[in-house]
Amino acid sequence: MSVLSPILTCPEIKEYMTKGERFIKWDDDSTNASPVILRVDPKGFYLYWTFQSKETEFLDITSIRDTRVGKFAKIPKSQKLREVFNLDFPENNFFLKTLTVVSGPDMVDLTFHNFVSYKENVGKDWADDIMAIVRNPFTYNASRYTFLEKILVKLKMQLNTEGKIPVRNIFQMFPADRKRVEEALTACHLPKGKNEGINPEDFPEAVYKTFLMNLCPRPEIDEIFTSHHSKAKPYMTKDHLTQFINKKQRDSHLNDVLFPPAKPEQVQRLIEKYEPSGMNVQRGQLSPEGMVWFLCGPENSIVSQDKLLLYQDMNQPLSHYFINSSHNTYLTAGQFSGISSPEMYRQTLLAGCRCVELDCWKGRPPDEEPIITHGFTMTTEIFFKDAIEAIAESAFKTSPYPVILSFENHVDSPKQQAKMAEYCRTIFGDMLLTEPLEKYPLKPGVPLPSPQDLMGKILIKNKKNQFIPGDNQDTLKKGKDPEDEVTNQPTPIERDGTANSGEVTEEIPEEGEMEKLDEEEIKKLQSDEGTAGLEVTAYEEMSSLVNYIQPIKFESFEISSQKNRSYVVSSFTEMKAYELLTKSPIQFVDYNKRQMSRIYPKGTRMDSSNYMPQMFWNVGCQMVALNFQTTDAPMQQNMALFEYNGQSGYLLKHDFMRRPDKQFDPFSVDRIDVVVASTLSITIISGQFLSDRSVRSYVEVELFGLPGDPKRKYRTKLTPNANSINPVWKEEAFVFEKILMPELASLRIVALEEGGKFIGHRIIPVTAAHTGYHHVCLRSESNMPLTMPSLFVYVSMKDYVPDSWADLTMALSNPIKFFNAHDKKSAKSQESNLERPELQTGISTSQLTTNGLPNATGTYSIPPSNGPAGMLSSGKDENMKEATNVTTEPQTASIEELQQIKAFGKLLKKQDKELKELERKMIKRREELLQKYGVLFTELAAQPGKKKNPAPPKAPKKKSCRRLPLDESRNTGEIAESPDNRVLELKDKLEEELLQLGEEQYDGIRKKKEQHATEHIAKIIELARDKQAAELKALKESCESDTKEMKKKLEAKRLDKVQTMTKNTTDKSTQERLKKEINNAHIQEVVQTVKQMNEKQNRFQQILEAKQAACIEKIKEKENQLQEEAFTEYEEKVKGLSAEVQDLVKTCVKVCFPLEANIAKEEALCAAPEEDQGPKEQLQGKDLNEIVKNEEQVAENAKEEEDDSTVIQDSRL
């Protein structure tokens, strides 16, 4: 799917429909017949008719459910109307002119609008073209702006006598806040008085958009706009919009070759479409208002529009599809006293249902017409023939794919059964499939034909018996199988498998036994299975109509697998089906790969409520029958999901639920082989026009899927104030982290008023949801689109990646980028370890390893376990004693494990960066100080008054240094005048400032490290608490799972005991007594087991909490340790600061005064002999010539050093 090219297009509105046609509208209740002109507006939003008085009535196209002509249209009952239309004349042509339009908010509350044209066959064209508009997927799935445009169209068609738009109509359209409506009209310079009118020319589409922007401002979209456009510029360029579309609105799973990303030249067309300012369009810029209308457009639909069309393979066997199915289709209300109606068959089939149920009972004399009703109740009756006619008329209006008629046959009269078969043959005609297809014979191992093979066909599901020509029909009437007499095969299993033609013989109660059933037995049958267990034998006429859908009583999965007959189907009550799927889910899935099953509500649902169909779809049950007259949450889910695939009524099951070589367990909590789990997050941002009243509201988000899928329901907070026009929820995203099989999951978003009153909802299959910002146009409880309410959301769909595999996934998706980043990370880590060893205490290099990838040292390791969840899940045993005596204690995450979490690594990086920045600033200040004093020293060195001794006169100075007695007074004078006072003063000052700066630097580093230590510990504690909460949750869930598993095992054990006892004991009273004892023992065992497991859970929880508390204390102690280390390091550096400063000063002076530096060295050398020897005695004993020679050598060396120093000084200057 591309944001640039929406798939759905507006329906075609033919010219004759917009011009209008003259009809007579009649009403049986009022007996009135009035001439009208019938029209459809050019946008296809409304069917409306105008009376001669200019009064106009509107009918929303989305509320139309059917159109009928000819004999299927309504016929006037009033004698007055019959005379008007000459209905009693034999040659009248009323049926060639009639048209009935059926509308209503649901399948029960219907209104019939009856018209008669002035010309023949006009009504048929109108009926076909109206339904073409209604059936167009765009009509129900239009964009947000299309629904807003719908309001404008209606306002402009509802003009007063002056040809103006009444302001009162605008107030009626937006009733939630009249004051805001008045302010919005004022902002558009339009009249706001209740009795005033607006010229249609003054209210074009551009003004209407401005009105909506003032009435319902969108600050949340302004924030999105600001975060994606150039700073300080009130527009978004086409490049920015292109980036926004590709980054936020595009599905990351799309192939860039098959579905190229948006390009700026393509985005320019979107700007031209949505930008209100012509100047911005020319410049390729989008304003915030243009952004609002872009996000309201069809390019940003939340559903994948291609999935609304027929997109699945329809050539698979019937058993490979979920089939839209109905239970007790004829009822309009409750199961006990509801009204029956043939209209319900029409409405369910028009809604896409492909399997309807007919409860057939024997008709009364004299006509003996078979009837349809709910047996043993007070529900009304309808004729079987009327139901068949309704089915024949509506069967393939919505979908061309096969319809299954599920007969519950209680007609024990061969004559009436023959009449039923005759009605089916004559009314259905060629639509009825009476013989199996040549390619798909009724033989074991042969699969069922596909929906494509059976297109346009009606299949009968009724009990089938095999008849032998000339055989006595009485044997069949008594429920005896003629195969018994022919083949003499003893067991029912063998008897069922002998029919070479594939026909199934069903065991049926004898008529005499049926008559002997007392009221208690009838009630027992009704309590769960309903009246399904009371079906009678099928006679030859009805049996001959049955082929691919042959019902039999279910025996076991093993027997069904052995027989391998795809054409037989078993029906289960919801309770029986639930028992089977909990005990043998994998076998149930395999059964549904081969043949079909039908699930129906238990008999005690007298209010016609529904069970959740999801649990039975999870095991592949095809016909999950629901009460279509009740629009509760299960029915809402059913209607929403079967809207997809072209509303065909058939949805192809996942590959795992079709292939015989694959096994699928719906209760799996781990990944499913080959299937990529998904992570879905949804942020509820805001709502628009949610209610007619100013109320507080909230939103619930729920996931339907496999039992192992994540948390099922989230809820926003109530809006802080009463605001129905544009409430905003500023909350975190709702994340469904691991959806195991997205193809089986669906998302329900429902808006509710404070107190729980329903506003609107939307159910979307997870695989059809689109990533990005979207407006969700809400639906009614009966899945009808609502014009006003919508929600603005952000959806993100990604493949599920466990945290431990995130780095590996990144490496696989982009190896070059990953390993470049890894090399940089390794280098930085090594530098950090060299510079800051104190912060790495307790964190070894092996702890920095990512899952399956090299760490900073280039080694590989396996990540540690994440708390008790893994340990407990692997510790489950089959035996109850082992399960209750598990001795392995739960473990909590250690400090080392916590330090491996990415969030902590990010903190370390941040702290390291801060320290390096602080050290860099300190070094810069020190260099600036040294540079400053270097300049001062250089200036002193360059002064002309400074005394500089040339090289030759240095010999006497050296002599004076050795204090020879020959010239003592002269040496003393030279020593006094050698250093300059100014230089000494600068040296002292530089040393003082360097000391002060060094102390300040080390103190700053110490404080920063202490701060880092505090942050370090705070982060670890935060991560520890999150981890510990997850550990406790995992422990609780694991224990609950163990308890449930143990209950299942104990229940299976109880059932085995009951079955064994039943086989071994024939006395009923003994059976009842033993069964009671088994049940009591079972209850005690369950209570004791649950008690032991709860005690184990409490004990483990206490152990885990104690370990967690000890871990927190250990972490807190580490803070003092880190701070002490930082202080110790500070003291050591301060101690060595003086020597460091002296070295820096000497270096600085040596560079600027190389001669003085040499003199200082020589003085230091002279000081040692003076201390060890007397000033005169030791010198007198030396040879004067030798001394003079040494002094000459020293002077020569000093001259060479002075020359070198001068070169260095010149280079620095």
Residue of 229, 327, 410, 761 with catalytic role:
327
3-class DSSP state of 406: strand
Helix axes 288-295, 219-226, angle to 10 degrees: 110
What is d(CA 399, CA 395) in angstroms, rounded to the nearest whole number?
8
Residue 776 main-chain phi, psi, to 5 deg: -100, 105
The token duo for 283 is 């410049």
What HEC string does 292-325 produce?
HHHHCCHHHCCECHHHCCCCCCCCCCHHHEEEEE
CB distance 974 to 1083 below 8 Å: no
CB distance 449 to 439 below 8 Å: yes
What is d(CA 975, CA 1162) in angstroms, rounded to the nearest whole number?
13
3-class DSSP state of 686: strand
CB distance 595 to 292 below 8 Å: no
Pick from 307, 318, 308: nearest CA to 401: 318
DSSP result, 1190-1204: HHHHHHHHHHHHHHH
Q: Would you say 408 is a known binding-site residue?
A: yes
Query: Which segments within 1064-1143 are labelled E, that is strand?
Result: none
Q: To 10 degrees, the CA torsion angle through 879, 880, 885, 886?
A: 60
Query: Which segments within 343-402 are labelled E, that is strand?
Result: 355-361, 371-372, 382-383
Q: Residue 128: CA atoms inside 13 Å, Cβ hemisphere, count?
A: 6
With b meaning 16 or more CB within 10 Å and e meaning fewer, what string describes 606-641?
A: eebbbbbbbbbbbbbbbbbbbbbbbbbbbbbbbbbb
Helix axes 902-942, 815-835, angle to 10 degrees: 60
The angle subtended at Cα 573 by Cα 490 and Cα 424, nearest 5°, is 80
Residue of 374, 775, 822, 1016 with catalytic role:
374
Helix axes 981-1064, 1137-1152, angle to 10 degrees: 140
- 92 CB-near residues (< 8 Å, 6+ apart): 85, 86
What is d(CA 824, CA 818) in angstroms, rounded to the nearest whole number?
10
The token duo for 33 is 């017949």
3-class DSSP state of 257: coil
- 341 CB-near residues (< 8 Å, 6+ apart): 330, 332, 382
Please confirm, yes or no, whether 327 is among the known catalytic residues.
yes
- 840 CB-near residues (< 8 Å, 6+ apart): 832, 833
303 pairs with which residues across the strands?
769
Active site residues: 327, 374
Q: Which residues are annotated as a binding site?
A: 328, 357, 359, 408
Q: Which residues are annotated as a binding site for Ca(2+)?
A: 328, 357, 359, 408
